[in-house]
Structure 1
Amino acid sequence: MQTSSLKYLNLLSEKYPSIQAASTAIINLTAQLQLPKGTEHFLSDIHGEYESFQHVIRNGAGSICRKIDEMFGNTMSKSERRNIATLIYYPELKTPMMLQSVPDKDEWSRLTLVRLVKFCRRLSAKYRRETVRNLLPKHVAETIEELLYDQEGVEHKAAYYQSQIDTIVSTGSAQAFITCLAELIQRLAVERLHIIGDIYDRGPGAHLILDDLMDHHQVDIQWGNHDILWMGAAAGSEACIANVIRFCLRYGNMETLDNGYGISLLPLASFALETYKDDPCELFIPKVSADDSFTSQEIRMMSQMQKAMTIIQFKLESQIIKRRRQYQMQDRLLLDMVDYERGVITLNGVEYPLLDTLFPTIDPKNPDVLTAEEQMVIEKLKLSFANSKKLQQHVRFLFSTGSLYLIHDGNLLYHGCIAMEDDGEFKSFNVDGKSFAGKEFLDRVDRLARQGYFDIDHLERKQYGMDVMWFLWCAPQSPLFGKEKMATFERCFIADKATHTEKRNPYYTLRDTEATARKILTEFGLNPDAGHIINGHVPVKVTKGERPIKANGRLIVIDGGFSKAYQRETGIAGYTLISNSRGLLLAVHQPFESTQKAVSEELDIDTETQII
């Protein structure tokens, strides 16, 4: 026997010590191959919209409602079907409401339990018993398993089955069992969840979304540029921290920072109030809606804080650009291009007047040097980010379940782009005389991002990795960003909107062609005849006739505007790509009003499904 074969047999014997044990495993595994493929959902660009995300997860992107109609269409009225659908989505909220309104609580509980058990049986038909058991809380697993697999129509079993239902009701356990069955239905409806980036920013509930994802039975995440920014901030990157805080102040979104992670902005507020007390900071008034109900004093304070953090951000970014020449971002050393006496900046040979010339913390001779007060502010903020237990827990989860890309079932999943030249060749990135492009470049920066968070024993290597996380946020060659520049400075200080344009990488034009998609799939070792690229990052503007399915079906863009900020552009409120035993489906969602209305008025998200 060959040495290699003996090595593998010895390893196998540790798990299967006998021929019978190995044979049983072979029997079970062979049988499993005949089960239908589990249903997988792909979502992207959730951007903190917790209620919409939660509802789409709970309703299986509309699939639970459709299955209820199929199963109970002839035995239940439309209102009854809508009622049980809402009960499945929100059992912890809907069950108490129903128990208060029905004339006979026990009878309603019995009927609801029977219906939920029957529905569970249908959904669990393509799963092994062990899989279903693992999705149940231990204290109810045995009872629910008996209910699911009992044949109450068989002689001698009917009384046993009915006794279980009656005893659940008589012991006052109905509500707990209804909740467990409803949650089981939600889990059975989606076997695996793929998040194609951008959980953070815009909306207020990113921390709540991550709490839910950590509780999910099977999930993977492909990092987006907004995710890597928060990951860099948690690692201690000063530039990432500055960007995170400026972005939150810009959109008046303090919920995740404050209530979610307990990040104290008091040092920044004190500094801004003192430094910019006579500055109206009109260019930095946050973009908030009337619903946010901020006072005029709060708006002014956030404006001052945003300007203070914006200047700190530009200084810190200039420092990175100067110490990492390989990033090729010298054209973004904008603080060096300002004539502070005249209040103008020269870009590409053109002189532009600045809209704001009050820079009390900038030394024109050394514009990227932090003042002592600014340095103290950033140090205190770093400490606050480092000591946020919840943030660190979420970021470790993003590292453990996430990556820049994922190869799964012959498909390639990534958030942003694969940087390309105009001629369709992969854009190369040169480091110390070595060139990286395509898959090799993504593998490199993925490793360096992990180095920036975990390599706490080597400060220089950790700093290198943290700088890479900032690079991934906004550099032209970043696979998560994919634009020639992030025009934050121009939007803040220059009136000419032509300077605000952020030209996209050629990838975003080339990806429409099948040849490009096939080239990328081949680069990652996938079959271009069968594989698909699943992409997010850039919203599909349905209102302008854009389609999510590109490259003759080889590439699917699933950013449909979960974030309310993008829904005017997209005309919809998000996509869910569904992969099941029948193929690929794309669910198109309409806006979601609120959880409160979903429960009290039984309003579901309108979802239209199209076959890919």
Structure 2
Amino acid sequence: MDSNEIMEEEIMRNLKYLKLLAERYPTISDASTEIINLQAILNLPKGTEHFLTDIHGEYEAFVHVMKNASGVVKRKIEDRFSNILSQEEIKALATLIYYPEQKLDIIERNEANIEDWYKITLYRLIEICRYCSTKYTRSKVRKALPKEFSYILEELLHESRAVYNKQDYYDEIINCIISINQAREFIIALSNLIQRLVVDRLHIIGDIYDRGPGAHIIMDKLMTHHSLDIQWGNHDILWMGAAAGSKVCIANAIRICLRYGNMDTLEDGYGINLLPLATFSMETYGDDPCECFKPIPDIKDCYSNKEEKFIARMHKAISIIQFKLEGEVIKRRPEFNMNHRLLLNDMNLEEGSITVEGKVYPLKDKNFPTIDMKNPYALTQEEYDVIEKLQYSFINSEKLRSHCDFLFSRGSMYLAFNSNLLFHACIPIEEDGSFSALRVYDKELRGKALLDELERVGREGYFTKNKERKRYGQDILWYLWTGKHSPLFGKNKMTTFERYFVEDKEAHKEKKNAYYKYRDSEEFCIRVLKEFNIDSPDAHIINGHMPVERKKGESPIKAGGKLLVIDGGFSKPYQKKTGLAGYTLIFNSFGLQLVSHQPFKSMEAAIKEETDIISTRIVLEKNVERKRVGDTDVGALLKNQIKDLMELLSAYRSGIIKEKH
């Protein structure tokens, strides 16, 4: 059989699909033009990917890292203007691009000759914007342009002053923009366009929520991003479970907010009504100092003594409710194997002690007015009423619902993309290095199959109308927050109860999953990658979740560069422990770069004092040949499209399908 016969046979097999494709490309000319276009795109430089993880509500630092693209924007300015501008001028231009509206307010008040400043700045911004846009097609750049200025911006970006016949035309556009008082709007539009063009794809590797005050602000920002994916973290899944209506997830989410004194996300962000909890806590724990439940030391200074006591009482009230609700789930789901966490059964209130794993400890707090030791996991009527009202508030928060809809639509347990495997915490591993098994419904699953099924069942907990499957799905969402074989948690237990009530730190220990023992082995990492069908010498695993303690000499680079951990402490409470304020990762056409960041002072300082985050860049891998779109996952899709279009061309030319002129 010759090549023409093989092609004809292939066409006949795909005839139904090719006829549908012909609706979009009805002529030989249309199909040929698209083949030429796609083939050209394959040879463009690979777009820049930006990786962030464990943001934990620190919205100011997050917004700044998004605006400066982990230093990429400043490097673009230096590439074009390092021989022309001083470092002070480069810094000022970078700050303008990050915060155009706020910076313009200051400049317009203080600049003596604002028209000259506008002209110089517009030329500089256009040059940077043109430089950033060269790796994209005109069509892609056109789609990124703000609609109100799209025509003029397209002219400015694709015309050169060096072309003699167009020089006056180009200059006149700039002069006219200034004369009709549109310079400010154009500068803002160009600055935002630069921010968009420097990063082609954003990866968030989990834990947007908890600790910091602005998770809701971060979610608003992410929902406007042009291209991103999210790999869920355990803190995200907790809020997703809460939005689904899981009472145990709701109690956990509120408890963490109170522990970190973070009322902003609950009340201002999502409109959660805490009045029923506040009233109940004052009535039940009004005479209790609740010493164990005061906000953590770094936060408590933000509150008066009276406010601190008020938060502590609510904190204790919701914690006891949480422990009771967790007991219900543990008893309902024996397959979770969590009976050892039924600690309320092991309290001796007469002696003021508790037995944990066979050892007796004195209780730091002995006041449990709502616990009946004959049935310690039974909610009182008042506790039941409180959690019912809180559940109603969570379910009916439109903003929380929209944010969690987005997390489900753009998120997943893991992502295999461009030869990198992204997941938040771990793949559950046994001590002998084998994949751990967990029974989900009636199936015992491991590795990739386990993550796939946990994601599917978790989605049921949010979306399905079947009550029984919904409840099971919600229980799985809670298990993903705290369970031994949760890929998002990665420890044998969460010792929340012990941390509150037991002084001895020995009882607080949480043993890490064996994954963290094996992740330094290149052989192990390759085995994990193959489990997820990634078999490339350039492949990496990229994780967050466990803060890298650089203070103690720990490196984010594991297994000879095969695995990268980029949680370096976005969250302020972790920064004393880590010695820095986070890692981010840049993967562009030239290679892979790890960026470490020092703590962010404030947005106000960044604008007024032009203080950028101090970042250090480490080139992990430099490509011998610059990566092209054709070397990426998108390139593989485009190659398949080209193959289909070539078949369509053959079908037209052989008369199997007729052109529609």
Same-fold call, TM cutoff 0.5: yes
In the TM superposition, residue 534 of structure 1 has moved relative to its aligned partner by 0.6
- 1:475-497 C-alpha deviation (Å, 9 max, x unpaired): 11100001011000101111111
Deviation at 1:75, TM superposition (A): 1.6
Shift in Å, 1:249: 0.6
Alignment equivalent of 1:426, drawn from 435, 442, 461: 435
- Confirm or deny: 8 A CA contact 2:261 2:300 kept in the other structure: no
Alignment counterpart, residue 105 of structure 1, candidates 97, 106, 114: 114
Query: Contact conserved, 2:300 with 2:308, CA < 8 A, in 1?
Result: no
Q: Identify the match of residue 73 of structure 2 among 64, 82, 85.
A: 64
2:472 maps to 464
The aligned counterpart of 2:571 is 563
Supply the distance in 2 between the matched residues of 1:558 and 1:324 (Cα, whole angstroms): 34
Q: Is the 8 A contact 1:251 1:288 kept in 2?
A: no
Q: After TM superposition, give the deviation of residue 432 of structure 1 in Å.
A: 5.4
Alignment of 1:67-106 (within 5 A): 67-106=76-115
Q: Which residue of 1 is the match for residue 131 of structure 2?
A: 122
Q: Say yes or no: does 1:543 pair with 2:551.
A: yes
Report the counterpart of residue 383 of structure 1 in structure 2: 392
| Deviation (angstroms), 1:98 | 0.8
Equivalent residue number for residue 513 of structure 2: 505
Distance 1:78 1:526 in 2: 43
Task: Tell me, yes or no, if structure 1 residue 8 matches structure 2 residue 17.
Answer: yes
Distance 1:120 1:190 in 2: 13
Whole-angstrom CA distance in 1 between matches of 2:567 and 2:534: 23
- Listed one character per residue, the Cα deviations across residues 405-429 of structure 1 (whole Å, up to 9, x for unaligned) are 0110121100010000111100011
One of 224, 228, 238 as aligned partner of 1:215: 224
Residue in structure 2 matching 1:193, options 192, 202, 223 = 202
The answer to whether 1:588 aligns with 2:591 is no
CA–CA distance in 2 between the matches of 1:292 and 1:570? 22
Q: Distance in 2 between matches of 1:108 and 1:41?
A: 32
Q: How does 1:102-251 map to 2 (within 5 A)?
A: 102-251=111-260
Determine if the alignment matches structure 1 residue 492 to structure 2 residue 494: no
How far residue 557 of structure 1 moved from its aligned partner, in angstroms, is 0.6
| Structure 2 unpaired stretches of 5+ | 1-7, 621-661
Range 567-576 or range 424-433, more displaced = 424-433
Letter in 1 for 2:496: T
Render the CA deviation track for 1:158-187: whole Å, top value 9, x for unaligned: 111011101111111111100010011111
Aligned equivalent of 2:586, options 571, 578, 589: 578
**2:72 corresponds to 1:30:** no
For the 8 Å contact 2:440–2:454, the answer to whether it is kept is no
Contact between 2:76 and 2:132, CA under 8 Å: does it hold in 1? no
Contact kept in structure 1, 2:547 and 2:567, CA below 8 Å: yes
Change (3 A) 1:433 1:469: closer
Letter in structure 1 aligned against 2:512? R
> Which position in structure 2 is the counterpart of 1:436?
445
Amino acid at match of 1:475: G
Q: 2:607 aligns with which of 599, 602, 607?
A: 599
What TM-score results when the alignment is normalised by the length of structure 1? 0.98
Which string of whole-angstrom CA distances, capped at 9 and with x for unpartnered residues, describes residues 497-517 of structure 1?
101000100001111111110
Structure 2 distance, partners of 1:179, 1:556, is 36
Q: Distance in 1 between matches of 2:75 and 2:302?
A: 39
Name structure 1 gaps, 5 residues minimum: none
Q: Which amino acid aligns with 2:495?
A: A
Question: Conserved in 2, the CA contact under 8 Å of 1:418 and 1:426?
Answer: yes
Query: Does residue 1:43 correspond to 2:49, yes or no?
Result: no
Partners of 1:86 and 1:530 in 2: CA distance: 35
How many Å separate the matches in 2 of 1:6 and 1:452?
40
Question: Hey, what's the Cα distance between the residues in 2 that align with 1:17 and 1:270?
Answer: 69
How far apart, in 2, do the equivalents of 1:405 and 1:150 lie?
A: 43
Cα 1:293–1:552 change in 2 (3 A) is closer
- For residues 29-88 of structure 1, what are the alpha-carbon distances to aligned partners after superposition, in whole Å with 9 as ceiling and x for unaligned? 000011000001000001111111111111111121122123212222222111111100
Q: 2:288 aligns to what SS in structure 1?
A: coil
Q: Find the aligned partners of 1:142 and 1:556 in 2 and give their Cα distance.
A: 43
On the 8 A contact 2:260/2:299 being kept in 1, the answer is: no
Mean CA deviation greater in 321-330 or 543-552:
543-552
- Give 1:554's aligned residue: 562
Q: Deviations over 1:365-420 (max 9, x none)?
A: 11111111101100110111111111111000000000010110121100010000
Q: Give the aligned residue type for 1:381.
A: L
- Which is worse superposed, 145-154 or 336-345? 336-345
- Please give the alpha-carbon distance, in whole angstroms, between the structure 2 residues aligned to 1:479 and 1:575: 21
Matches within 5 A, 1:386-425: 386-425=395-434
> Are the structure 2 counterparts of residues 286 and 542 from structure 1 closer, same or farther at C-alpha, using a change threshold of 3 Å?
same
**AA aligned opposite 2:60:** E
In structure 1, the residue matched to 2:322 is 313
Distance in 2 (alpha carbons) for counterparts of 1:505 and 1:262: 37
Contact 1:236 1:382 in 2 (8 A): yes
CA shift at 1:18, angstroms?
Answer: 1.5
Give the drift of 1:595. 0.6
2:461, 2:477 within 8 Å by CA — same for their partners in 1?
Answer: yes
2:298–2:573 contact (8 Å) kept in structure 1: no
Q: Name the % identity.
A: 55
The Cα offsets for residues 226-278 of structure 1, whole Å up to 9 and x where unpaired, read as 00001000000000000011111111111111111111110000000001111
1:88–1:182 CA contact under 8 A, matched in 2? yes
Distance 2:207 2:302 in 1: 26
Q: After TM superposition, give the deviation of residue 566 of structure 1 in Å.
A: 0.9
CA offset digits 1:107-129 (Å, max 9, x no partner): 11111111100111111111111
Deviates more, 1:66-75 or 1:268-277: 66-75
Greater length-normalized contact order (CA 8 Å, ≥ 6 residues apart): 2
Normalised TM-score (structure 2): 0.91
The amino acid of 1:546's aligned partner reads: E
Q: CA deviation at 1:150?
A: 1.0
Counterpart contact for 1:522–1:528, Cα < 8 Å:
no
Equivalent residues of 1:484, 1:502 under 8 A apart: yes
Aligned residue for 1:477? 485
SS at match of 2:421: strand
Q: Which moved more, 1:544-553 or 1:318-327?
A: 544-553
Secondary structure of residue in 2 paired with 1:157: helix
- Equivalent-residue separation in structure 1 for 2:94 and 2:440 (angstroms): 55
Tell me, yes or no, if the aligned pair for 1:39 and 1:191 is still in contact at 8 Å.
yes
Q: Alignment partner of 2:164: what SS?
A: coil
Between the aligned partners of 1:187 and 1:431, the Cα distance in structure 2 is 41
Take 1:343 and 1:295, find their aligned partners in 2: how far apart are those partners?
31
TM alignment of 1:259-270, pairs within 5 A: 259-270=268-279
Residues in 2 aligned to 1:55 and 1:293: alpha-carbon distance in whole angstroms: 24
**Structure 1 residue 348: deviation in Å?**
2.1
Which one of the candidate residues 369, 373, 376 is aligned to 2:378? 369
Q: Given residue 277 of structure 2, which amino acid in structure 1 is its aligned partner?
A: L
Q: Counterpart of 1:94 in 2: which secondary structure?
A: helix
